[in-house]
Copies of this chain bind each other. A is one copy, B any other.
Amino acid sequence: MADRWTLDRVRELDERDPLAEVRRRFELPHGVCYLDGNSLGALASGVAQRMRAVVEDEWGVDLARSWSHGTWMDAPVRVGDRIARLIGAHDGEVLVADTTSIALAKLVGAALAARPGRRVVVSTTDNFPSDLYAATAVAARAGAVLRVVDRHELAPALGDDVALVCLTHVDFRTGALHSIPEVTRAAHEAGALMLWDLCHSAGALPVGCEEHGVDLAVGCTYKYLNGGPGAPSFLYVRRSLQDRLENPLPGWLGHEAPFGFEPEYRPATGIRRFLTSTPPVLQLAALDAALDAFEGVEIDDVRAKSSALGQLFIELVDDAGVPGLEVASPREAGARGSQVSLRHARAADVVAGAADRGVVGDLRPPDICRFGLAAPYLSFEDVFRAAATVVEVAQAL
């Protein structure tokens, strides 16, 4: 097949890229094409300095006084507000704390308690397994069940027994997207609440929480938000729902008066009631500094570029026509998240061989090679080189 792409044509795309200068906001290692930002996002430029300040000055010198006069105590809400903008939510609707599975347990539990007449949570077989583990356990304790169906059988599963629909926006294996507007509308028509796991969405594509009437969401911050290894998760609760839901894992920081040390729990008003315990200050400082890389960046531009990067990657793989190497992601950009997955019987060898040549993706066993396309720090030339390398490795197997 004729080559549609040359290095010169690809470099033209980089020259016209409105996000080209954003790449300079990251510390990328030399000689590496890093297409694993959907596993762990790259290090943004201000993070190291911010970590030195929080460790050596705020902790080392000001010590516990930093809790009362510094940026520590309000970090979960303040950093949450910065994420809100990126997922189409408002200030006071997002909180950063805990981990994704704990955040999910909180919101599934809250939703089931708010819908006592409905004892079913619906999810899909291809959801991230940890979400299914968490939801199954929470549902069982609430006398409810998790109904797990194929994604094509979602509509008939939405009966009037459904309290909550709980899905991951972007399939972690293939990158296939659910339609947030369509599924959220269907959930609401069935009288259910809608919870989206945005782990592979936040920082990569527009979500439109308000626009589409999303009720609840969770997501991690170490992928496309670049918050660092083990960065805390976020949770989103639509404002009009906040005071109607209760945090099933209460703790002192979700109390209306945390330092009153009252014997009885009184939930805070607003999003703070979903806090439980002391925030992970060091992780929050890293995430906060990392979010500076998104200043002045519109998520629609990120999405447009990552779609184009994905299209380029797919066309290069198609054009090479390597036997046994197939595109596993949707070919239509609108149906695909910010990644391209390839299927190969020796996927582990493809991923390892590419990594040996400086192209980092990851493996999702048994047969998926996954390449994340973080538009803020990847160029079209990176993707051109990455696809060429993957093709070469697969050809040589």
Contact = CB atoms under 8 A, between A and B. Distances in A.
Contacts of A141: 109, 141-142, 248
Contacts of A56: 27, 43, 48
Contact of A134 (B67, B249, B262, B362): B249
A67 B55 contact: no
A365 interface: yes
A98 B99 CA distance: 8
A12 to B, nearest CB: 29
A60 B39 contact: no
A282 B64 contact: no
A208 B56 CA distance: 34
B137 A250 contact: yes
A109 to B, nearest CB: 8
B72 A55 contact: no
A41 to B, nearest CB: 9
A262 B261 CA distance: 42
Nearest to A132: B263
Given A102-B249, A276-B99, A36 B48 contact: no
A83 B166 CA distance: 37
A326 to B, nearest CB: 20
Interface in A119-145: 125, 128-130, 132-134, 136-137, 141-142
Contact of A48 (B43, B52, B132): B52
A286 B27 CA distance: 22
A64 B362 contact: yes
A277 interface: yes
Contacts of A371: none
A27 B59 CA distance: 10
A63 interface: yes
A29 interface: yes
Interface string A57-99: 0111101111100001000000000000000000000000011
A125 B262 CA distance: 10
Contacts of A47: 55
A130 B252 contact: yes
Nearest to A229: B281
Contacts of A63: 29, 32, 34, 36, 40, 42-43, 360
A48 B40 contact: no
Contact of A55 (B48, B248, B279, B364): B48
29 contacts: A40-B67, A43-B59, A43-B60, A48-B55, A51-B52, A51-B55, A55-B228, A55-B286, A58-B229, A63-B360, A64-B360, A99-B277, A99-B278, A100-B277, A101-B249, A101-B251, A102-B276, A128-B252, A130-B251, A130-B252, A134-B251, A134-B276, A137-B265, A228-B282, A229-B281, A230-B283, A231-B280, A282-B283, A282-B286
Interface of A: 27, 29, 32, 34, 36, 39-40, 42-43, 47-48, 51-52, 54-56, 58-61, 63-67, 72, 98-102, 105, 109, 125, 128-130, 132-134, 136-137, 141-142, 148, 220, 222, 228-233, 248-252, 255, 259-263, 265, 276-284, 286, 355, 360, 362, 364-365
